[in-house]
Amino acid sequence: MNMQTNPAIPFYRETAGECDLFETAHRHGLPLLLKGPTGCGKTRFVEHMAARLGRPLYTVACHDDLSAADLIGRYLLKGGETVWTDGPLTRAVREGGICYLDEVVEARKDVAVVLHPLTDNRRTLMIDRTGEELSAPEGFMLVASYNPGYQSVLKRMKPSTRQRFLSLSFDFPDEATEIAVVTTESGLDEARVASLVRLAGRIRKLSGMDLEEGISTRLVIYAATLIAGGMGVERALESAVIEPLTDEPETRQALRDLIATVY
């Protein structure tokens, strides 16, 4: 059966055997770390795999104020009573689901303390506030992502945490894959998508020099969606490519020159 044709399973085009690795990790209860730039398909991959494996998915976008309590849960006031409310990680553990911590290095340090016993052979979650100790059932899996390009010295992932995860590098897809993805997502015809993908490839060569990071597949999809909706190419590229990528007048001009070589 081709899973991709099932409408309940979000579309994901595999690039290098990552679906099999995910499935194997899930079967053995091993945590998985996805590394790679923004907008290259990490979240979609996890959504696809969770649906394929029939597990509930709890996604948490981590930020610098996110604490262990946000993941585990807290007592909340409800109608004059204090009631314990599970956080997303606790729910995933109870239900044997998948918990996806997006940009995990952004979270506060106390989060690592919670993740350690969950990511080794103990597979336990301690809920200090209630005194409960949960054993993760079969089916539970912890997935985390991080973007090596953004890491400041302060925000690097510690080896003690990092070495608890199987790891998988994501990058921008190859041309044929990106054309297939952008065509499916935007509905724009393949010929016009091919020009956009060619442009994206050239822009990515600029990254590191003038641009902090290459253009994401997400932005290519935005541009294609605008063009498919009838917007002129120039205007679409202005708002889906040039504006999101840079504020520097010189870099904008360099991007416009690059666009002129493709269109």
Least CB distance to ligand ADP at residue 216 (A): 7
* Spatial distance between the Cα atoms of 229 and 207, rounded to a whole number of angstroms: 29
**Cβ-based nearer residue to ligand ADP, 36 or 87:** 36
DSSP 119: S
Closest Cα partner for 143 from 190, 206, 192, 88?
A: 88
Kindly list the distances between the CA atom of residue 195 and the CA atoms of 42, 71, 152, 187, in Å, as whole numbers in the listed order: 24, 43, 35, 15
Apex 217 CA angle, 216 and 222, nearest 5: 100
- Structure token digits, residue 159: 């080896």
User: Residue numbers of the site for ligand ADP (CB under 6 A)?
Assistant: 11-13, 15, 38-44, 173, 181, 185, 217-218, 221
**Cβ-based nearer residue to ligand ADP, 11 or 150:** 11
- Residue sitting closest to ligand ADP (CB): 41
**Cβ-based nearer residue to ligand ADP, 37 or 73:** 37
Least CB distance to ligand ADP at residue 169 (A): 12
Least CB distance to ligand ADP at residue 232 (A): 23
CB-based contact 115:126 (threshold 8 Å): no
**Cβ-based nearer residue to ligand ADP, 72 or 146:** 146
Least CB distance to ligand ADP at residue 43 (A): 3
Would you call 258 exposed, middle or buried from its count of C-beta atoms within 10 A (0-12, 13-18, 19+)? middle
Strands (E), the chain: 32-35, 57-61, 73-78, 81-86, 98-102, 124-127, 132-135, 141-146, 166-169
**Cβ-based nearer residue to ligand ADP, 180 or 231:** 180
Q: How many other CB atoms are found less than 10 A from the CB of residue 133?
A: 12
Residues linked to residue 134 through DSSP beta bridges, in sequence order = 125
Least CB distance to ligand ADP at residue 12 (A): 4
Least CB distance to ligand ADP at residue 103 (A): 9
**Cβ-based nearer residue to ligand ADP, 162 or 218:** 218
